[in-house]
Amino acid sequence: MGARPALFDLYGRVALVTGARDGLGLAMAHALASAGARVHLNGRDAERLSAVVAGLAAEGHDVAALPGDAGGPPEQLLAPLQAEAGRLDVLVVNAAQRDRRRLDDLPAEAFEALLRTNVAAAYGLVRAALPLLRASPFGARVILVTSVAGPLSRAGDAAYTASKGGLAALVRALAVELGREGMTVNAIAPGFFDTTANVAMRHDPAVNAWLDARVPLARWGRPEEIGGAAVFLASAAGAYVNGHSLVVDGGMSISF
């Protein structure tokens, strides 16, 4: 067996991935664990999360379940990390919600609620995690999961688009502020991935025809194809990348 590639080696790192019970969150958690990190997976459904973590542990990964609502009190979510390690080296904020409704059908209250969940809660978690991030001996990495729906728009998705655009702006602001402390803050902006959240669109012939014409790779992304981006930004390979949104969309955002 050859030597581990040092640039992408995460051995000794402590990581937290929110919204990691399935989909892209689980794929990123799996990739970080495969690179050697001890990964705490967060999800609201404790029973299902426990089963997922047990499966990863059976594969030989160093993982732990951290059940709870990522939009709830962040101190409560972070308490087990404080007790176990006293530090956090990699924070991946992936938990988010979506409310696909046209303007006429989307009350202002629902719009505000999505901004609280997708933007304000992310800010609150990063802020609450600062003592743990500052304790990292490696230079902490914060990764917020945005979307191509931030810079790009589609009808009937105003709240989600606004929230992801706001999250991308937050990444830049935090990168400038925390960079002086040796931390990096970046975003991963996924395109169209074949996840449970996109089941309806995945089986819509019109959506598939549009993707085939718009995406240069002419297919949906597979969840496991997001993991490498997370490992890159969390590892020594991404040490000088700061305030950047890494787009993983098969080329959709540069095609017309």
Our answer to whether residue 160 is catalytic in this structure is yes
CB proximity list for 162: less than 8 A, separation 6 or greater: 111, 115
Q: What is the pLDDT along the chain (256 residues), one digit of tens a residue?
A: 455 558 999 999 999 999 999 999 999 999 999 999 999 999 999 999 999 999 999 999 999 999 999 999 999 999 999 999 999 999 999 999 888 899 999 999 999 999 999 999 999 999 999 999 999 999 999 999 999 988 888 788 899 999 999 999 999 999 999 999 999 999 999 999 999 888 888 899 998 998 999 999 999 999 999 999 999 999 999 999 999 999 999 999 998 8
Say if 218 falls within a structural domain.
yes
Say if 1 falls within a structural domain.
no
For residue 237, the one-letter residue type is A
234 neighbors 37 (Cβ within 8 angstroms): yes
Return the bridge partners of 145, or none. Answer: 188
Catalytic residue among 11, 123, 160, 240: 160
CB proximity list for 86: less than 8 A, separation 6 or greater: 132, 135
Structure tokens at 156: 């009937």
pTM, whole model, 2 decimals? 0.95
Say if 192 falls within a structural domain.
yes
Say if 53 falls within a structural domain.
yes
Say if 2 falls within a structural domain.
no
Say if 34 falls within a structural domain.
yes
CATH number at residue 208: 3.40.50.720
Say if 198 falls within a structural domain.
yes
Say if 86 falls within a structural domain.
yes
Total domains in the chain come to: 1
Which range of residues forms the domain containing residue 191? 7-254
CA distance 29 to 67: 14
What count of Cα atoms within 13 Å lies in the side-chain half-sphere of residue 166? 18
